[in-house]
A and B are shown apart, each in its own frame.
Chain A
Amino acid sequence: MARILIIDDSAVIRELLQEYLTDNGHTVELATDGQIGIDKALEKDYDIIFCDIHMPRKNGYQVFSEVNTSKPGVNFIVTDSLPDHLAEMAQRDGAYTCLIKPFNLNEVKNTISAILNREKQHE
């Protein structure tokens, strides 16, 4: 199973993802804004990082850029109300995908499975 970091300023989304992913057997940690997210991502290693685009202090693209610079190859799933230019830039620079809010839990599950499958194939 995977180690997952969830960076989102919305408490309900954080908690929902935490409960759902934990229930699915993943290890989940939370960050309430971009800066905290960066700190955590640099401090520990995660298989997958869920990151909202619109957040205070540091936006999702900044988080992705900083983390990706120090630790290239981290699987980023950015989330956004509608894919705007920040989300597009993140995807262009190597983020795995963009989930549009409000997303279905099935989408989340399938995306994570896809990432893990890919990792397995790489190994």
Chain B
Amino acid sequence: MSPLDRMKGLQLRTKFVIPISLLLILCVTLITGYLIKQQADGYRRELETSGETMIHIIALNAESGVLFESKYELDQLLATSIGFDAVTYAAIYNNEGKLLSEVGDWDESTLRIKKAMETADFGQTKELDYYIENEEGEEFFELNYPVVHRKEKISRENLGISAGLNNFTTSEYITEDIGTVRLVLSLHSVNLAINEAQNTAILLTLLLLIIMIVVLNMVVRFITKPVNLLVDITDQVSRGDLTQRVAIDQQDEIGHLANTFNKMIESLQQSRNEIEEYNHTLEEKIIERSIALEDAQSQLIQSEKMSAIGQLAAGVAHELNNPLGGILGYAQFALEKMNRSVEENGPDKEMVKYIRYLIDIETQARRCKNIVQNLLRFSRASHTTEMEPTDVNIVIQDTCTFIEHQLHMNQITLKLDLVENLPLLQANASQLQQVFTNLIINAMHASPPNSQILITSQFSPEVGEFAGAVELQFIDQGCGIPDELKNKIFEPFFTTKEVGKGTGLGLSVSYGIIKEHGGEVRIESTVGEGTTFIIIFPVQKAIAETDKTTKRLSTP
């Protein structure tokens, strides 16, 4: 991993603080180093200058002492110089190199030259000045300067007019090196001063750096705090919590970002709510449609099944009619013959028995005849029914009158709840009466004593091309119909009654009649609570608009 890559993984704050701190340290260090260097150079130059001044003075004053080799005078001279702190050693040599005078301790052997420099301005001869260091690491500055003897140049003109000094236009001097002054200055105090300055500078620099870094850190923290908050909220939002809002009250870019971010979350939440709501609605719609589809499908299956059964029944009925006609006819023919024979010849025991047999055959054949007729009626292969405007309420009332006695015998009360002024239906009253009778008798058989059968009628206004629909309900408190039987009860020959008690054709004939009237029949039932048969007849517009006079059915 390169340092740059490593950098990428760091926190924003660290990313700011580390490079800026490093840059600060570098700059401050460079500046401080430069200043210390300048300071040190200044100190040294000062030392050099004062050393040079001093040696210059000594050399000027040493002229007579060297000339006369007066040790005393020279010692006096040097003793004044040694009063300066920096002066470690001073010596004066004559021209031949003989030591004339010296002060201070000096051990030549331990020294080494650090830096040689030329100081050329103080005379014709150039002596070298040196920075030197002894074995203990002490630094010194050694200066050498010539002692010059100045003599007046004696010329004839000069000698001739010695009395008139004011006539001198020029005077010439001859200079001559007569010795050397050597001065060694210790850099100890200079170095001490430099060190002190250096230490102070470093200390101040460090302090400054620390203050700067702390301030930098605070500034960066001030900037990154809202950013971190933003990051936290973003994190929570990304995990699906859209209720979070960024609480930053600033007028700067971060504040603007926070506001924009809040707006974004709001619109996100709104979108999500919309999507959720849409999903919910969609789900409900799917369920609704599925149920409707299932209903439609089961109704379709049911009506397909009924139609298939109808066709089968019609075929069977037609085929049965002729043989049945034969059985019935021959039985009647034989009966007629035998009755005549008995009339003519008197009663014969055997004959009477055969007559009884034939009556049985005839009765059963008649029963078969009825079954076949009902089958054909169910299959709607029957004759075209005569339809006329009919008030269903009156048909119900007539049916009830006719059946009331039977209900009373079974201790069942019948209640009617009929809506007045029902529109007239294009219907066959006697067929409807057959349907209602069948439904009431079935309800009676299913009901326990002391229970009630309720019949209601109501009108639902306009549906599509129809002027509306008449809805009839036959509600009993009987044993109910299990779900698995609900679709079967309209099938021909399906019965729950004991063998011989019902043919299983009543409801299938009713179904055929209702269909023939363009109606629908539906069952709602709970086992143990009761059953409701719902019949819906469409009202045709033309009929609905006609006068509501209808013939009253005669009670059978």
- Whether chains A and B associate is yes
Contact B332 A81 (CB under 8 A): no
Contact A54 B318 (CB under 8 A): yes
Provide the bound-state CA to CA distance between A17 and B322, in Å. 12
- Considering only residues 323-340 of chain B, those with a C-beta below 8 Å from chain A are 323-330, 332-333, 336-337
**Using Cβ atoms and an 8 Å threshold, which residues of chain B touch A104?**
328, 332
Interface residues as binary, A84-103 with B (CB distance below 8 Å gives 1, 0 otherwise)? 11011000000000001111
Chain A residue with the shortest CB-CB distance to B377: A82
Contact A83 B383 (CB under 8 A): yes
A114 at interface by CB-CB < 8 Å: no
Contact A10 B322 (CB under 8 A): yes
Provide the bound-state CA to CA distance between A103 and B327, in Å. 11
Known: A16-B329, A16-B330. A102 touches B376 (CB 8 A): no
Contact A101 B332 (CB under 8 A): no
- In the A-B complex, list the 8 residue pairs whose CB atoms are closest, starting with the nearest: A102-B325, A12-B326, A10-B322, A83-B383, A16-B329, A105-B332, A101-B321, A102-B324
Provide the bound-state CA to CA distance between A101 and B325, in Å. 6
A45 at interface by CB-CB < 8 Å: no
Contact B318 A81 (CB under 8 A): yes
Known: A19-B333, A84-B381, A105-B336. A12 touches B373 (CB 8 A): no
A106 at interface by CB-CB < 8 Å: yes
B124 at interface by CB-CB < 8 Å: no
Known: A12-B325, A88-B383. A81 touches B376 (CB 8 A): yes
Provide the bound-state CA to CA distance between A2 and B22, in Å. 140
**Using Cβ atoms and an 8 Å threshold, which residues of chain B touch A85?**
383-384
Interface size class of B (residues with CB under 8 A): 20 to 34
Contact A10 B376 (CB under 8 A): no
B479 at interface by CB-CB < 8 Å: no
B369 at interface by CB-CB < 8 Å: yes
Give the total of A residues in contact with B, Cβ under 8 Å: 23
Please list 19 pairs of residues, one from A and one from B, whose beta carbons are closer than 8 Å in the complex, sorted by A's number: A10-B325, A12-B323, A12-B326, A13-B325, A13-B326, A16-B329, A20-B329, A23-B337, A81-B321, A81-B372, A82-B381, A82-B382, A85-B384, A102-B321, A102-B325, A102-B327, A103-B328, A105-B332, A105-B333
Provide the bound-state CA to CA distance between A89 and B381, in Å. 16
B317 at interface by CB-CB < 8 Å: yes
B365 at interface by CB-CB < 8 Å: yes
Chain A residue with the shortest CB-CB distance to B335: A105
Among candidates B328, B330, B373, residue contacting A82 with C-beta atoms closer than 8 Å = B373
**Using Cβ atoms and an 8 Å threshold, which residues of chain A touch B384?**
84-85, 88
Provide the bound-state CA to CA distance between A106 and B376, in Å. 23
Provide the bound-state CA to CA distance between A83 and B373, in Å. 11
- Considering only residues 266-305 of chain B, those with a C-beta below 8 Å from chain A are none
Residues of A that sit less than 8 Å from B by CB: 10, 12-13, 16-17, 19-20, 23, 54, 81-85, 87-88, 100-106
**Using Cβ atoms and an 8 Å threshold, which residues of chain B touch A54?**
318
- Considering only residues 353-408 of chain B, those with a C-beta below 8 Å from chain A are 365, 369, 372-373, 376-377, 381-384
Provide the bound-state CA to CA distance between A85 and B377, in Å. 14
Chain A residue with the shortest CB-CB distance to B337: A23
Provide the bound-state CA to CA distance between A85 and B384, in Å. 7
The interface centre, meaning the residue of B326, B329, B373, B377 with most chain A CB atoms within 10 A of its CB, is B329
Among candidates B317, B329, B376, residue contacting A105 with C-beta atoms closer than 8 Å = B329
The interface centre, meaning the residue of B325, B326, B382, B384 with most chain A CB atoms within 10 A of its CB, is B325
Known: A13-B329, A82-B382. A102 touches B369 (CB 8 A): yes
Contact B333 A82 (CB under 8 A): no
Contact B381 A16 (CB under 8 A): no
Known: A82-B382, A85-B384, A88-B383. A16 touches B321 (CB 8 A): no
Chain B residue with the shortest CB-CB distance to A16: B329
**Using Cβ atoms and an 8 Å threshold, which residues of chain A touch B373?**
82, 100
Chain B residue with the shortest CB-CB distance to A103: B325
**Using Cβ atoms and an 8 Å threshold, which residues of chain B touch A100?**
373
Chain A residue with the shortest CB-CB distance to B331: A105
